[in-house]
Amino acid sequence: MAGFLCVAESAGGRIIRTGVGFTQVGDPYQFDVYTQDDRPLGDDGEAEFRWVTVLLKHSNGYNVIVQPIVDGIPQLVGSFSGGPPPAGTLEEVVRLRVWLMARGNRIAAKVTSVSLLGPLELVDIPYGYVAIRSGL
Amino acid sequence: MGELPTKRLGPFLGGVTDAANPLIVEGKMSVRYARNAQLDGVGRLIVRGGTQLALTLKDDQGAPATVTSIVALTPFGDGVLAVAHSTVTSKFYLYWLKDDLTDWYNSSKALQGTLTPAPIGVLWTGVATPSPVLIAEGLNVAYIAHNSPGTTLNTQKLDTTVTPATLTAFQANLDGAGVANTYFRGVVSFQQHLWGWGYGSQTAGDNDRPELARFSTPFFGAMAQADSFVVGHRVRSIRERIVAGVVAGQMLYLGTNFSIWPITGFGRNSWDKSRPIDDSYGFAGVRAACAGPNSYLYYWSHRGPMRVLGYGPPEPLWPRIANTIAGLVNEQNVITVYNQNADQIVWLYQDQSSGRISRLCAYDVLREAFLGPDGDIGLGVNVAAFLQPVYGVAGPGPLGPPITPSTDNIGSTVALAHWVNGDTAADTLSQLEYRTPQGSGAWTVASSTIASGVTSYQLTGLNASTAYEWRLKHVRNGISTTYLGPVAGTQFVTIGQLNPPTNCVLTDVVAYGKITWVNSGESGVSTQVWFGISGQETLVQTVDPGVASYYANWLSGSHLYHAQVRHVRTGSTPSNYASSNSVTH
């Protein structure tokens, strides 16, 4: 990194670096990602969505909530937390699975951190389903 | 289970946007919105970095610092210049900072070794409210213009070719009436000359005209010629005026409030020969434009974000921008900056009601992907800058602050502080400070060099029966985390003295005198056993913590014996004695 982006305060005398660590001058912030909907069986199909698994890479622990969303309706959330990767490893990809067993046409997922312990990367969000009928 | 179908909602290739103002990037639609997340250079969707205090500017009045707004921040030579305003003193101050923001210079360019810079000069006085300030850099000379109309606040010149540096009014003969102070609304360095706009000599009647002046000021010492003149003066409407001038590639782009003019030459008719490349939407604010890579100019117009290369035409970057977003910004609150680390042009927007800054949107110049709003930085911001240290690389700061504090082994003069490290990098040190009384005492640095991986520190030299608190931060490459504490886990009261043991009993077991007692239960306390002829007891042994008995040898002859015990621990006042019964043997 050859340089850094910094901002200067409009209501005070502080000059702030950005992109440093995972805390914030002022209010804390959270990682918050909401995917687009996916329709596995077409525009009019119907499926029994069984599970959603978030693949999350971290290097210093994680504390997140995973919320599947079926046909725009938020489902029960799963809360997940863990410490740093095992000794000798710098990072790990954890699988955070939520069983939802919900019937519908489209599915999305929301991943939100409760507290930021370090770097996070949202690697992928696979999901499983049972086909009920395909779209016309 | 393996035979049942699965699909994926990722990977997350692009098109980060906001739920309230949906944005569709064709073919890149995996994410509906992502706040406080960013796509990095290889397309990973990662949490964005945090923010951290670098320097706190103070005014010329000493403590308390009363700087209330920072209105300019720009690289200058191998350092940085900043301008701040105080509503308390009604002054504008000029600061000279080290390029990595870890220190600051006085007017003789000597580093001062603190994180609270004092000004090297006062630019203007008697101004109750701040307004943007623009700085143009020459070779060790800076020109500083106040972006408000009128002939009150003259353009200033900082000359660092002499020691100490001098701050004087920038003067020129613009109207043939002789050399006089100048009053520009903005300045920019282009083609080794200084350019100013919103020109006004003191005798000019209209100080807010779209007029551009070029100066052969001594940017390059004696090479310069003293031929300052007006380059052009275009008036299409009395309402038109120059908002800002930005150099991108070989062009100087002059943005008025509703047009953009490319300037390539530096003759007397350079602007008169120019034709507008955008005659509908100009710059939306004095900081609405910046140069991107490959000579592109990126700017926020009154119709949203655009870019242009050469003579154009301008290219809208957010064609379907909602009017609610396009109309959000005005001339005061949009900030454009090129973040070289992320290869993104970033537009920051300050909400006028909350005072908070948000990333309005960003444009990834490598992937040509548009990234929508993604979060609140948590405080109000007037200016932003990408600073690139000239002589050194700014290393990374600590990953996070220490967490989970606790204090134990509290004695009369010592206490043991514990924490969990927020960063385990080998070059991350910890600094522990303590104070008394809690909440108001001055902090004393116990150690600023606690090694990486260490998670406890013994405070020494404390006073008995006194309330203390400690705080701890990580430091890496000169960058500090926020402090852990003071919170409940870092507050403690030193003890007066140790609690004594109880139930001390001396028993005659023929060959020995057996002394037993009950320990107080305090952690780490040893026990001194005193034994002998009654009234002449001597210390016979100090037994380890947890031991509660001792066998003492009788003396020859028959005597009346007595024993007493007390607890001891390094850093604590010994307890009172617990006395046994007397035994004749």
A36-78: per-residue pLDDT in tens?
888 999 889 999 999 999 999 999 999 999 999 999 999 999 9
Nearest-Cα distance to chain B for A40, in Å, is: 7
Nearest-Cα distance to chain B for A54, in Å, is: 10
Which residues of chain B are under the pLDDT cut of 50?
Answer: 1, 13-29, 202, 204, 207, 218, 220-226
The CATH number covering residue A113 comes to 2.60.120
**B303: helix, strand or coil:** coil
How confident is the model at residue B358, as a pLDDT?
A: 67
How confident is the model at residue B356, as a pLDDT?
A: 62
- Considering only residues 382 to 411 of chain B, which have any Cβ-Cβ distance to chain A shorter than 8 Å? 382-389, 393-394, 396-401
How confident is the model at residue B578, as a pLDDT?
A: 93
As given in the structure block, the two tokens for residue B154 are 């003259």
How confident is the model at residue B238, as a pLDDT?
A: 59
Residue that the structure tokens 């005398």 belong to: A13
> Has residue A63 been placed in a domain?
yes
Give the CA diameter of chain B.
123
Specify which residues B334 forms β-bridges with.
Answer: B349
Name every chain A residue with its beta carbon within 8 A of the beta carbon of B400. Answer: 21-23, 60, 116-118
CA of B172: how far to CAs of B18, B122, B213, B232, B446, in Å?
50, 21, 11, 17, 57
CB B410 within 8 A of CB B494: yes
> Has residue A39 been placed in a domain?
yes
The count of other CB atoms within 10 Å of the CB of residue A83 is 11
What ranges do the domains of chain B cover? 1-50+245-391, 52-130, 131-233, 403-493, 502-584
Beta-carbon contacts of B290 under 8 Å, excluding residues fewer than 6 positions away, are: B246, B297, B298, B299, B336, B337, B338, B345
Residue A87 per-residue DSSP state: T
Domains B403-493 and B502-584 share a fold: yes
Sheet holding B334-339: strands in order across?
A: B334-339, B344-350, B357-364, B369-371
How confident is the model at residue B301, as a pLDDT?
A: 86
How confident is the model at residue B540, as a pLDDT?
A: 92
How confident is the model at residue A97, as a pLDDT?
A: 96
What is the CATH architecture assignment of B403-493? Sandwich (2.60)
CA of B127: how far to CAs of A14, B88, B143, in Å?
21, 10, 19
CB B194 within 8 A of CB B172: no
> Has residue A84 been placed in a domain?
yes
Is the ipTM of this structure higher than 0.85?
Answer: yes
Strands (E), A10-134: 14-18, 32-35, 46-58, 62-70, 73-74, 78-82, 92-104, 107-113, 120-124, 126-133
Q: Which domain holds residue A49?
A: 29-133
> Has residue A117 been placed in a domain?
yes
Greater model confidence, A35 or A49: A49
B61 at A interface, C-beta within 8 A? no
> Has residue A5 been placed in a domain?
no
Residue A1 has pLDDT above 70, yes or no: no
Which candidate, B342, B388, B383, places its Cα nearest to that of B100? B388
HEC profile of B23-92: CCCCCCCCEEEEECEEECCCCCEEECCCEEEEEECCCCCCCCCCCCEEEEEEEECCEEEEEEEECCCCEE
Name every chain A residue with its beta carbon within 8 A of the beta carbon of B18. Answer: none
Total CB pairs under 8 A between chain A and B: 273
How confident is the model at residue B380, as a pLDDT?
A: 77
Please tell me the total count of domains within chain A.
Answer: 1
Between CA B92 and CA B129 the distance in angstroms is 10
Domain at B502-584: CATH code? 2.60.40.10
Between CA B136 and CA B4 the distance in angstroms is 65
